[in-house]
């Protein structure tokens, strides 16, 4: 039987700790209260420098990051966080809904985004999904994440993906991909020639319990096409299968 202090310690350790980075009190105060009522431990800072100091020196499990901050831009904060802690989930909070802003956010390493105004229930679903995904990755200090046995590199259409090295190339040029972009490309290339349903892609790359819009997938496909040099107006590598999803074309000739 655990003593009172031991029970409290184990409870505190089990509660996910969120870092809310938001400079608008009208948003941060009610959002923090709502998340704490649900059961999360929530720390709050209102600028980018404080966010970096907190996230890189404490045991934060997930960051809710506003895109517009008074000192360091939220995108730059995300880039620095992902450089130091690549497995730390980051959910962007943004008032901007344009596709270009979302794509730039994913380029910076964000794992997901929510556009203001949003419902707390929607945000919680996304938080839970990111925490579940992070929990499936086991790490050992001083080593790489422990996962499945090494996979063989896949190559088709001038694109080569090496899952073991976590590297990808297009026509011999190494690609700078976010973790989710890499996972998405690896899936598409491994299933080259097959039409993959949107729901199956979301389940494989994001979370088996994914709930909500697949707009996140569209943003990642758009970003991948751009990085691959695939014309979004007439793509030849990642094609859209109307009413189904997407297909990576295996016979695309080398474009170099």
Residues of the chain with CATH 1.10.10.10: 154-248
Tens-place pLDDT, residues 82-132: 989 988 999 988 876 555 566 677 778 888 888 888 888 878 888 888 888
Closest listed residue to residue 239, CA positions, set 190, 203, 188: 188
Distance CA 238, CA 252 (A): 10
The answer to pTM > 0.85 is no
| % of the chain beyond a pLDDT of 90 | 32
CB atoms within 10 A of CB 6: 10
Q: What is the per-residue pLDDT for 25? A: 92
pLDDT higher than 60, residue 153: no
SS3 169: strand
| pLDDT band at 256; cut points 50, 70, 90 | very low
Say whether 251 sits in a helix, a strand or coil: coil
Fold of 154-248: Arc Repressor Mutant, subunit A (1.10.10)
Phi, psi of 246 (to 5 degrees): -140, 155
CB contact at 8 A, 66 and 155: no
**How far does Cα 114 stand from its chain's mean position?**
12
Q: Rounded to an integer, what is the distance from CA 83 to the centroid of its chain?
A: 14
113 touches 63 (CB < 8 A) = no
Residue 70: cis peptide before it, omega within 30 degrees of 0: no
Task: Give the H or E element holding residue 201.
Answer: helix 198-205
Higher per-residue pLDDT: 221 or 179: 221
Question: Where, residue-wise, is CATH 3.40.50.2300 in the chain?
Answer: 4-135
* CATH number at 4-135: 3.40.50.2300
The stretch 174-180 carries a mean pLDDT of 88
Q: Region of 167 please: left (phi>0), alpha (psi -120 to 50) or beta.
A: beta
């Amino acid at each position: 039987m655990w003593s009172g202090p031991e029970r409290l310690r184990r409870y505190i350790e089990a509660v996910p700790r969120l870092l809310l980075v938001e400079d608008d009190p009208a948003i941060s105060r009610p959002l923090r209260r709502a998340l704490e009522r649900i059961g999360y431990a929530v720390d709050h800072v209102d600028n980018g420098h404080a966010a970096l100091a907190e996230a890189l020196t404490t045991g934060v499990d997930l960051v809710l990051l506003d895109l517009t901050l008074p000192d360091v831009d939220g995108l730059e904060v995300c880039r620095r966080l992902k450089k130091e802690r690549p497995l730390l989930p980051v959910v962007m909070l943004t008032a901007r809904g344009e596709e270009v802003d979302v794509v730039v956010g994913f380029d910076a390493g964000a794992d997901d985004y929510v556009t203001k105004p949003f419902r707390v229930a929607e945000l919680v679903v996304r938080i839970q999904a990111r925490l579940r995904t992070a929990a499936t990755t086991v790490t050992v200090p001083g080593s790489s994440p422990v996962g499945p046995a090494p996979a063989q590199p896949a190559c088709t259409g001038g694109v080569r993906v090496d899952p073991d090295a976590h590297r990808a190339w297009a026509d011999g040029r190494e690609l700078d991909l976010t973790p989710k972009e890499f996972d998405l490309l690896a899936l598409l290339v491994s299933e080259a020639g097959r039409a993959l349903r949107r729901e199956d892609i979301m389940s494989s790359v994001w979370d088996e319990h994914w709930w909500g819009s697949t707009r996140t997938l569209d943003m990642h496909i758009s970003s991948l096409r751009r990085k691959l040099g695939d014309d979004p107006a007439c793509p030849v590598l990642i094609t859209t299968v109307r009413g189904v999803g997407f297909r990576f074309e295996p016979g695309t000739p080398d474009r170099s």
